[in-house]
Structure 1
């Protein structure tokens, strides 16, 4: 009797999880500028926070081609495209994220990254500190 109950429950759980994974990303309001203030190009980084993730920000990572200096990250709020976290102290970061439009197709440092929602797995304290960095402005 209990096996008959488990089969439909497992099937429903599988269907629900597959819809979460295969859901198409929402259209964007803002995306990464193609270059920073120094003229360094946008690069893909496995550690960048993606636009499609569960966070209120997204990261744009810039580096000089062939340089030995480490890349730098610029973070922006999804809601208004303004600097997030400590980005406003970096003079190399563009003042605002680019607006998504037909003329400017969206581009990100982590376009294909599948992120784990913060309520699954460890790292919730790191998420909290990233989202509530001391001195960071709240999105408006």
Structure 2
């Protein structure tokens, strides 16, 4: 489950960024981005170049790829990712869905549900393995004095 969650995050973040640059034609403004044209731009009255920048490179796509790759990196090393990643990204996805619908937020919610379920499963498995290794807490040791 954790691996699926990580891959969904990576694929969604990459698809959003690449789609914005290609399908939405944000890449046509790259020259302006590197010339300093956005430095004095008014965020309240965004220019097309600024809007394209915030839709593509400054969007959630790149950080989502980083989060997904981190989850995959941890999983490959047998480390259970911290639950706060799933909770924070899940809360962010719900907030985004409330503000802007229709949008593909359910994909991120599916990834976060998978991540949280995988974390819970791994935590339970690790706890049970630790109890079995140390001897179950239900075993009582008694000594008799002779």
TM-score band, normalised by the shorter chain? Answer: under 0.3
Bigger CA radius of gyration: 2
The structure showing larger relative contact order (alpha-carbon pairs under 8 Å, at least 6 residues apart) is 2
Q: Which has the higher strand share?
A: 1
TM-score by length of 2: 0.22
Q: Which has the higher helix share?
A: 2
